Structures are given as structure tokens and as C-alpha cells.
Amino acid sequence: MLPGRGHNGRGVRKGRVSQVLGIRTAWTAVADGEFFCPGCGGDRNYQRLTGRRRLTLVGVPLLARGETGPVVECAACRHHYGTDVLDHPTTTRFSAMLRDAVHTVALAVLAAGGTCSRTSLETAAATVRSAGFDDCTGDGLSALVDALAADTGRVCGEPGGASLAIELHEALDPLAPHLAPTGRESILLQGARIALADGPYTPAERDVLATVGAALTICSDDVTRLLAAARTPS
């Protein structure tokens, strides 16, 4: 329980003993935004507050007792939390991260495959659509893969370059700590199925999927196991 008893100092004013002598915390809002409230379990507005504690006599502030906080106050349930609560993404942000992750993995696998077959493109587009990009098409992905190849100056068919690995880490690193193991495996498996759409894994596809696994903090033994499992039709 945090000191200060909430934003309105109710505990200080109503308590019998503390009517004479107490500590009152005056909270000042220093920032606001949206966060995932663990108390009421959803995306809520918050205010980030710093407090100034004062010794009070009969409710009259006397001595400054120093700064307290900062704390995060939920606009809905009014509970106070430590600022580490802001490390957790909102539900909206989390969905967007997940969608971007699948999109990036799909592109990376397609780019590693070189000249993209229609089957690979359609499999990838269906995967990306089910991740939340409703208007993703095979042609759209094909254009993005071409742009990626032109951008990095690589000839289509060469193994994925360092820029792809960076893109994968940017999309997956922030997401991994918030996913359950099955969620992380599911992203890798979706990439594996795109790679398998036009035949067995190529060495470049294996490289990309290994990078995906590493960024998702899946150990290499598990990556090997999952890539083998993806080959077996379920």
C-alpha cells in the first residue's frame, strides 16, 4: 500500500487521531496517458502523480516531509500503482504489436525465399489477414518484398541480410516478454508454414526462422523441434 491514501487525502481528514496530527500528501499530476490497469483489467486513462508530503496539525500543513511517488493513478478505479505498471502495453497497443510482428515475419520469410511463388504469397497474405491486417493481399506483399530487396540492394534469392534481422528484432523483442510460450511459438509456426508453402525449407528460410525464434526468446532446440513439427500436416 502506498503512502498518502489516495488523491483526496480522505484518510487524513476523517481519522480521529490524525485530525490532530497527521501527514497529508498533495498530489500533482505531471503526465497522463493510457495504460492497462491491472485493477480494473482494461485500457484506461491514467495520471502520473508526484506527491508532496506535509506534516499537518488539525489539518493545517506544517512541515514539508519530502517528495513521494511518482505513482500512476487509474482514472476509472482511482487505484495507485508504481510506475512500472506503464511497462505493460495497453490491449490496443499489444494487438498492434502482434499484428506488426506477424506482418514482419511473413515479409522476412518471403524475402528469404527469393522469387515468391503464388502459393507462398497467398499463404502469407492469409496469415497476415488473420493477424488483423484485413486488406492484406498476395500482390501487396509481393510489392513490399520487391521494395525490400531494392532497398537493401540485394539480389532476390540471396540469403536475408542484416537489415532483415534488425527489422525482426525491432518487431519481436518488445513483444516477446508479454507473450505466453504458446503465443511465441505460434508466431514462429506461422512463419514456418509460410516457408513450407512452396516446398521444404531453404537454408535462407531456416536462417530467418532461427532469427525469429531467437528474437522471440525460444531456445534453439525448441526452434528445431517446432520447425520439424510444422512440416508434419496436422
Bridge partners, 42 (sequence order): 37
**Taking CB under 5 A as the rule, does residue 75 contact Zn ion?**
no
Looking at the Cβ atoms of 76 and 156, the one nearer to Zn ion is 76
Q: Which listed range, 52-60, 66-74, 163-171, 199-207, lies at the site for Zn ion (CB under 5 A)?
A: 66-74
**Smallest gap from residue 174 Cβ to Zn ion (A):** 23
**Smallest gap from residue 79 Cβ to Zn ion (A):** 6
Q: Evaluate whether 33 touches 90 at the Cβ level (below 8 Å).
A: no
How many residues interact with Zn ion (rule CB under 5 A)?
A: 6
Gyration radius (Cα) of the chain, Å: 26
**Smallest gap from residue 8 Cβ to Zn ion (A):** 16
**Taking CB under 5 A as the rule, does residue 77 contact Zn ion?**
yes
**Taking CB under 5 A as the rule, does residue 86 contact Zn ion?**
no
Q: Which three cell numbers stand for residue 226?
A: 517446432
Report the distance separating Cα 122 and Cα 89, nearest Å.
Answer: 31
DSSP state of 175: T
Looking at the Cβ atoms of 81 and 133, the one nearer to Zn ion is 81
**Taking CB under 5 A as the rule, does residue 74 contact Zn ion?**
yes
**Smallest gap from residue 173 Cβ to Zn ion (A):** 28
Q: Measure Cα distances from 165 to 51, 179, 191, 206, 222 in Å.
A: 44, 20, 14, 13, 19
Pairing of strands 42-57, 80-81: unpaired
